[in-house]
Amino acid sequence: MLHPFAGMKHLDVAGGTGFGEDRSLHWVEGDAEALSFADGSMDGYTIAFGIRNVTHIEKALSEAYRVLKRGGRFLCLELSHVELPVFKQIYDYYSFSIIPAMGELVAGDRASYQYLVESIHRFPNQTDDAGWSHKRKDLLWNIAEHSGSASKKSEINNDTDFMFQRSEFGQEPLVGTVQMYGRHVFLCHKCPDLWPSHIETTECSQLPGLLSVALKARKEDLKRRTCLTIYQGEDDIDSMDGDVMIFPDMIKYKGLTQGDVDNFVDAVLVKESGWSFGEVETLSGSYVFVCAHGSRDRRCGLCGPVLVRKFREEIKSRDLHGQVSVHPCSHVGGHKFAGNVIIFSKKDDKVIGDWYGYVSPDDVPTILEQHIGKGRIVDRLWRGSMGLSKEEQKKAHLLRLQGSNVVGDKV
């Protein structure tokens, strides 16, 4: 069985007739043969009376295998074959002769009911056991539950090759790797497991894609070059899908909807005159964003969640809750530098956005103590800063190393 547990990430496929509103549920329209979730991101996968309706069953099974974690549970409930000879003859006659005729008589649709029977007949007795530990349980004489666990091959799921122990970790220069920009917009939208590889694609439940398209359409009208990133809210604070945080403005606009996008971009991001259609909140404290975009790059998908947990553990132990918040975020550029971290905080009455790369869990206490606690850049991890060109980033870094007094002077 599935054996659910607290914090479990579970994917139910072909659940289009389901309904419900719960913060732990995220509804996604997608393709069972090409899931948008990251490798090894799910603890469980279920599909009931759906897998025989996909065009290529082997592709759907391969995708289930890909998104499951090592040891993740796979459960498939499906109409199956009857193996007892006497019942098999009766069932086959009923299936091929009576069911299609009833479909034509009652619904006027013989073809659909003929397909139903044929799809059941073609459905395999069990999943291909390559990579799966599999068992079948007959629930009724023609209904079976197929279950299995994903015993990942080491060469496919060798996580250490993509995490902090990877061979290229810390090997390339970091300074001057941030593109020049003047404003960062963060849209709260679901969780990393549900983000497609590119936020502008249509699979992204429309709002991020609509905002991305609207920004690009008004690019020439923007006074400041603007970067758009998705983030996940925290369950224990007032943060909901559709909320928008803007830095260095330190403002949160609450409850952006699809119908608001064009007006929001025009009023807030182009004219910079504020938005009168939603609740506005002034932000305070420090905001840490960690790239955890696994569907874009596996390194960030594996390193990001570890760093988020470490930051939150340290924040709790240092009693910084309410002063520092941490969020997983989507692609920010430079996946080869994973873990990537961006910190927005106020220094000398000016909000600065500093980027760090190659951050490991061991670096988190230092970042909290030095960067957030004392306002000092951790130069060995520093990539650059919002508002500085690449050359200005290199110059600022050199001045700090030389002990200049203008360390914090960032335009």
DSSP 8-state symbol, 355: E
**Maximal C-alpha separation, the chain:** 91
92 token code pair: 């086959």
Instruction: List the chain residues with pLDDT less than 70.
Output: 1-3, 5-7, 16-24, 80-88, 115-158, 200-205, 235-238, 404-411
Look-up of token digits 């259609």: 277
Q: Are 75 and 44 in contact (CB under 8 A)?
A: yes
Q: How many residues does the chain have?
A: 411
- 83 and 92 Cβ atoms separated by less than 8 Å: no
Q: Which residues make Cβ contacts (< 8 Å) with residue 405, sequence separation at least 6?
A: none
- Cα separation, 405 vs 366, whole angstroms: 22
DSSP for 191-255, please give it: -GGG--SSTTSTTS-SHHHHHHHHHHHTGGG-SS-EEEEEEPPPTTSS--TT-EEEETTTEEE--
Short-list 72, 70, 71, CA closest to 155: 70
For 99-153, the DSSP string reads HHHHIIIIIS-HHHHHHHHHHHHHS-SS---TTEEEEEEEEETTEEEEEEEE---
Note whether 50 and 69 are within 8 A (CB).
no
What H or E segment, with its residue span, contains residue 79? Answer: strand 68-79
Quick one: pLDDT at residue 50? 83
- CA-CA distances (angstroms) from residue 101 to 110, 130, 133, 339? 6, 39, 40, 61
User: What six digits make up the tokens of 180?
Assistant: 């020049």
Residues 194-247: pLDDT tens digits?
788 887 664 445 789 999 999 999 999 999 999 999 999 875 556 788 999 999
Strand partners, 354: 343, 385
| pLDDT of res. 105 | 85
Q: How far is CA 24 from CA 62, 69, 199, 235, 273, in A?
A: 26, 19, 21, 10, 35
**Kind plus residue range of the DSSP H or E element containing 73:** strand 68-79
The pLDDT assigned to 252 comes to 95
Tokens 């305070």 found at: 284
| Bridge partners of residue 329, in order along the sequence | 231, 291
Cα separation, 256 vs 262, whole angstroms:
11
* Predicted local distance difference test score (pLDDT) of residue 118: 66
